[in-house]
Chain A
């Protein structure tokens, strides 16, 4: 019976303990239910969002970059298909071993690897980074076969920029290159691996229009980042095509024409519309090297070349204008009522100002000349006299009106202003008063004054048309199509009048006509002889270094005995045809010694070719030129 009682105690304890255990378990189940309530009701929204973020990945789609065309539809910048290996850092795990694995399949340099590692550091981990571009088919298939063993590695097809004409129009068109870290704005589009941004020329100034609007693709991805399906897609808006004012055939001609010189520029403008038909700067560069990946050696070569191939000398080269400035001085004197075209000066080869002797380039003297003769012979003494009458500030006033001394405002970046000095400028800049001798120098385009070839062309254009023409590279009226009539003067009303006296303009242009077309004119040897295509012009030879008195006494060295860097610049500005000028050309041959001898023939050839084609007024009758740079992608002619 004792055991029976003990057993009852034991059973009682067990029942009590079982109740306690059950109570504990109920409490724990309650805790589970509470946790479920917390996760699935209280925080459900948060986790729903996280689940969507898990599941849906939004991928930016880079818009197709707009093309760049010349006025007749020849494609100067196009998009080409480009196969490449991309790597998504957050899916790849160990980047180094992944890169090594890729390196066993396709050639991959250490530079490539460093670039990948650097790119990964500066981008979101989900943004694909390009490992190598421009793969061959063989390389594509080798990677494609091994993709299952390479997490985060994919082949994709992108569009890459190509310039069919390579270095023939690179300064105007510009180039695109990968976005630098300074250019990252937080816009994820700029972080896309294939994204290229305009770095110079039209590619830079029109980047906003060329770029278009990014699209996006909403895709459902699984935990490995593999796309399961596309949920939504917005293709974005492709960039606009930009039509330039250039005539590529003429540009091609001019660029090849100036290639005979070490460094030279040639610019042709439509005098009515301000459209730039030729913007040639030699030496040039191939913009394709920037899209295909630039090696340090190529970059250093471009940068250290003393001839500055990367510079667009038509807008960035500043030169003393020399005698090409004389039309401006003449116009200033006429407009200020100080002289008439009949105003005469006698040239004896030199003139004295105080103790300083100023020489004419023709040491024996020109004799007595009026304005016509002064311009025709480019007599320095005549223009010393005009400068003395005017004073520097009145010359500067006219020069500013004609576009010298400040950027003229062409629609590509990095235009340099040059310099048109005034009394106030010198006082401010050097703290010294202006000297009268300096006015003499300005009278013949020497001294402090500098100008770009674009400014010189603009100056002449404004004189020719009596309108405030502003040069432009983007054609406001778009393409010129074959068999579609167009107004060759469209856009001329964009510009206000200069308010110059027509008689004064006629006097200056008459002198310039004589330069080329009258016997004894400085550029008579370089005249155009074809009927109706005659050009008028003005040569200039701008001294680069100061000639000391000692040198003058010992007899001047012949210019071609001087080192290249010390030779005079050769300049020429011209208009054609005489009588009803439609085209203006400015040529600068760096250290080309003599304007009439070396620059004028270039202007002659280009203006003759230009008038034969007459791109301002008609669709060219013969087939347009074919790109020479990339035979695989001939430029597409617009129908």
Chain B
């Protein structure tokens, strides 16, 4: 047995780590980001200012973060899970106390030159603590219901705080992403069914806790034509822009609906619409393909990893990434209600870009440390 783990014993040097970095994944992220720059360039009417240039800068910063995060030992991140989670939770409380309101919700924390959205950071913190927790549990232990009380508590605290901002979309993303981790960790299927049906039964009660604008969004989703100049306006205009793009699109910088301001939030939440108006279904499919490729990469890394923590971390992070682009694109196509979820790597927005790159740094870190063996206390079994 000992010979098998020979390689593990020699700690990896920085040069070896850099050689081990999954440059293919990074190139893929770069391609998607470049599409983003182009679309932001178009959104500004053919100008780098004010969005594309900032976004490029953020990508470069994000790339540095990715590389730094990737070469740090995976065991460090194992140990850092709780501190990160704790800091994120504290920031969420801080946002609640003295955050900047944007569009009727307190989501931003003004930190001098940087405005931070703690809920984005919390996504990574939560994935880290859940991956860590489940990696310490055996299959049998996971089967015991009381073993799940603690991780459920770990989810509910940030979910409740985010819900309070109020940011229904992010709260749901936290819950769904955690659900994916529970699923991967081996939580029994009947428990999902139970929670699912209990959740369905709770819908009428939960309805009363929603803010008016949230209720409107859901009602509008169910019948968008009902209110085509009010709450249904955004989704109707998004569908018009998308549909009029057709198979091949109207051409770069030629999207009439977005350039004539019919399309709202074209640089953030509705950026996919603008892209699909200008590049058509063909362009949209290419972009979806690129995203799917990123997710596939993540799956491959997760499955290739030999330690449970790394597996859960990588798979959890790509599940989060998948939720990002799925919810955003499904929303702009009118498949689900309007929620404030950006299109990953493309939408204009600082925190999302940086935390995504942080997350991919962790995924690459898992790849670099794929052969590392960790025991249940997060140390290598020597």
Q: Once the chains bind, are A223 and B326 in contact (CB under 8 Å)?
A: no
Contacts A9-B139, A44-B247: A17 and B184 contacting too (C-beta < 8 A)? yes
B164 interface hit (Cβ, 8 Å):
no
Contact residue among B241, B261, B302, B319 (Cβ-Cβ distance under 8 Å from A51): B241
Q: Once the chains bind, are B240 and A47 in contact (CB under 8 Å)?
A: yes
Contact residue among A7, A11, A25, A33 (Cβ-Cβ distance under 8 Å from B295): A25
Q: Once the chains bind, are A13 and B257 in contact (CB under 8 Å)?
A: no
Contacts A21-B183, A39-B242: A55 and B257 contacting too (C-beta < 8 A)? yes
Q: Once the chains bind, are B239 and A39 in contact (CB under 8 Å)?
A: yes
Q: Once the chains bind, are A10 and B139 in contact (CB under 8 Å)?
A: yes
B285 interface hit (Cβ, 8 Å):
yes
The interface bits of chain B over 215-246 (1 if a CB of A lies within 8 angstroms of the residue's CB, else 0) are 00000000000000100000001011111111
Q: Once the chains bind, are A7 and B308 in contact (CB under 8 Å)?
A: yes
Residues of B close to A39: CB separation below 8 A: 239, 242-243, 333
Residues of B close to A7: CB separation below 8 A: 138, 308
Contacts A41-B247, A41-B281: A222 and B326 contacting too (C-beta < 8 A)? no
Q: Once the chains bind, are A17 and B239 in contact (CB under 8 Å)?
A: no
Within 8 A of B (CB), among A13-46: 13-15, 17-18, 20-22, 25-26, 28-29, 31-33, 35-37, 39-41, 43-44, 46
Residues of A close to B296: CB separation below 8 A: 22
Could you tell me the distance in whole angstroms from the C-beta of B246 to the nearest C-beta in chain A? 4
Contacts A11-B308, A35-B333, A40-B276: A55 and B180 contacting too (C-beta < 8 A)? no
Could you tell me the distance in whole angstroms from the C-beta of A579 to the nearest C-beta in chain B? 78
Could you tell me the distance in whole angstroms from the C-beta of A22 to the nearest C-beta in chain B? 6
The interface bits of chain A over 220-238 (1 if a CB of B lies within 8 angstroms of the residue's CB, else 0) are 1111100010000000000
Residues of B close to A224: CB separation below 8 A: 261
The interface bits of chain B over 172-184 (1 if a CB of A lies within 8 angstroms of the residue's CB, else 0) are 0000000010011
Contact residue among A22, A28, A35, A50 (Cβ-Cβ distance under 8 Å from B244): A50
Contacts A29-B326, A223-B262: A40 and B186 contacting too (C-beta < 8 A)? no
Distance of A35 Cα from B329 Cα, bound (Å): 10
Distance of A306 Cα from B229 Cα, bound (Å): 54
Q: Once the chains bind, are B186 and A13 in contact (CB under 8 Å)?
A: yes
Q: Once the chains bind, are B243 and A25 in contact (CB under 8 Å)?
A: no
Could you tell me the distance in whole angstroms from the C-beta of A617 to the nearest C-beta in chain B? 65
Contact residue among A21, A33, A90 (Cβ-Cβ distance under 8 Å from B288): A33
A48 interface hit (Cβ, 8 Å):
yes
A54 interface hit (Cβ, 8 Å):
yes
Interface residues on A, range: 35 or more
Residues of A close to B243: CB separation below 8 A: 39-40, 43-44, 46-48, 50-51
A3 interface hit (Cβ, 8 Å):
yes
Q: Secondary structure of the A side of the interface?
A: helix
Contacts A21-B319, A47-B240: A40 and B284 contacting too (C-beta < 8 A)? yes
Could you tell me the distance in whole angstroms from the C-beta of B254 to the nearest C-beta in chain A? 12
Distance of A18 Cα from B142 Cα, bound (Å): 17
Distance of A222 Cα from B256 Cα, bound (Å): 9
Residues of A close to B239: CB separation below 8 A: 39, 47
Q: Once the chains bind, are A36 and B281 in contact (CB under 8 Å)?
A: yes
Query: What is the chain B residue whose CB lies nearest that of A44?
Result: B246
Could you tell me the distance in whole angstroms from the C-beta of B291 to the nearest C-beta in chain A? 8
Could you tell me the distance in whole angstroms from the C-beta of A220 to the nearest C-beta in chain B? 7
A557 interface hit (Cβ, 8 Å):
no
A6 interface hit (Cβ, 8 Å):
yes
Could you tell me the distance in whole angstroms from the C-beta of B367 to the nearest C-beta in chain A? 16
Contact residue among B246, B288, B308, B326 (Cβ-Cβ distance under 8 Å from A41): B246
B346 interface hit (Cβ, 8 Å):
no
Could you tell me the distance in whole angstroms from the C-beta of A231 to the nearest C-beta in chain B? 12
Contact residue among A13, A22, A28, A46 (Cβ-Cβ distance under 8 Å from B299): A22
Residues of A close to B107: CB separation below 8 A: none
Q: Which of A6, A7, A51 has the most CB of B within 10 A?
A: A51
Distance of A26 Cα from B368 Cα, bound (Å): 27
B140 interface hit (Cβ, 8 Å):
yes
Q: Once the chains bind, are A31 and B247 in contact (CB under 8 Å)?
A: no
Could you tell me the distance in whole angstroms from the C-beta of B270 to the nearest C-beta in chain A? 13
Contact residue among B139, B185, B246 (Cβ-Cβ distance under 8 Å from A6): B139
Q: Secondary structure of the B side of the interface?
A: helix
Distance of A132 Cα from B181 Cα, bound (Å): 66
Residues of B close to A10: CB separation below 8 A: 138-139, 142, 186, 308
Query: What is the chain A residue whose CB lies nearest that of B248?
Result: A40
B149 interface hit (Cβ, 8 Å):
no
The interface bits of chain B over 183-211 (1 if a CB of A lies within 8 angstroms of the residue's CB, else 0) are 11110000000000000000000000000
Q: Once the chains bind, are B240 and A50 in contact (CB under 8 Å)?
A: yes
Q: Which of A11, A18, A90, A228 has the most CB of B within 10 A?
A: A18
Within 8 A of B (CB), among A575-602: none
Could you tell me the distance in whole angstroms from the C-beta of A48 to the nearest C-beta in chain B? 5
B303 interface hit (Cβ, 8 Å):
yes
Distance of A32 Cα from B288 Cα, bound (Å): 9
Residues of B close to A17: CB separation below 8 A: 183-184, 186
Contacts A31-B335, A33-B288, A222-B262: A40 and B240 contacting too (C-beta < 8 A)? no
Within 8 A of A (CB), among B252-271: 256-257, 260-262
Could you tell me the distance in whole angstroms from the C-beta of A592 to the nearest C-beta in chain B? 66
Query: What is the chain B residue whose CB lies nearest that of A17?
Result: B184
Could you tell me the distance in whole angstroms from the C-beta of A156 to the nearest C-beta in chain B? 22
Contact residue among B281, B308, B311 (Cβ-Cβ distance under 8 Å from A37): B281
Within 8 A of A (CB), among B333-369: 333-335
Could you tell me the distance in whole angstroms from the C-beta of A52 to the nearest C-beta in chain B? 8
B44 interface hit (Cβ, 8 Å):
no
B34 interface hit (Cβ, 8 Å):
no
Contact residue among A9, A37, A223 (Cβ-Cβ distance under 8 Å from B261): A223
B330 interface hit (Cβ, 8 Å):
yes
Distance of A151 Cα from B95 Cα, bound (Å): 36
Query: What is the chain A residue whose CB lies nearest that of B1?
Result: A4
Distance of A276 Cα from B382 Cα, bound (Å): 122
Distance of A21 Cα from B314 Cα, bound (Å): 13
Could you tell me the distance in whole angstroms from the C-beta of A54 to the nearest C-beta in chain B? 5
Distance of A54 Cα from B244 Cα, bound (Å): 11
Q: Once the chains bind, are B242 and A222 in contact (CB under 8 Å)?
A: no
Distance of A15 Cα from B161 Cα, bound (Å): 33
Distance of A292 Cα from B244 Cα, bound (Å): 46
Q: Once the chains bind, are B260 and A221 in contact (CB under 8 Å)?
A: yes
Q: Once the chains bind, are B302 and A18 in contact (CB under 8 Å)?
A: yes
Query: What is the chain A residue whose CB lies nearest that of B180?
Result: A21
Query: What is the chain A residue whose CB lies nearest that of B182?
Result: A17
Residues of A close to B142: CB separation below 8 A: 10
Q: Once the chains bind, are B308 and A3 in contact (CB under 8 Å)?
A: no
Residues of A close to B280: CB separation below 8 A: 40
Contact residue among B291, B299, B322, B326 (Cβ-Cβ distance under 8 Å from A18): B299
Contact residue among A18, A33, A46 (Cβ-Cβ distance under 8 Å from B285): A33
Query: What is the chain B residue whose CB lies nearest that of A16?
Result: B186
Contact residue among A18, A40, A51 (Cβ-Cβ distance under 8 Å from B315): A18
Contacts A13-B139, A40-B245, A47-B240: A35 and B335 contacting too (C-beta < 8 A)? yes
Q: Once the chains bind, are A48 and B138 in contact (CB under 8 Å)?
A: no
Q: Once the chains bind, are B244 and A44 in contact (CB under 8 Å)?
A: yes
Residues of A close to B276: CB separation below 8 A: 36, 40
Question: What are 19 residue pairs bridging A and B, where the CB atoms are less than 8 Å apart in the complex?
Answer: A6-B139, A6-B140, A10-B142, A18-B299, A21-B184, A25-B326, A29-B288, A31-B335, A32-B330, A33-B288, A35-B330, A36-B281, A36-B285, A40-B246, A41-B246, A44-B245, A48-B246, A222-B262, A224-B261
Q: Given A13-B186, A40-B246, A223-B237, 13 more contacts at CB 8 Å? A: A7-B308, A10-B139, A11-B311, A14-B311, A26-B292, A29-B326, A31-B330, A36-B285, A41-B247, A52-B244, A55-B256, A221-B260, A223-B262
Q: Give the top 10 A-B pairs by smallest Cβ distance, nearest first.
A: A47-B243, A51-B244, A40-B281, A13-B186, A222-B260, A223-B261, A44-B246, A223-B262, A9-B139, A10-B139
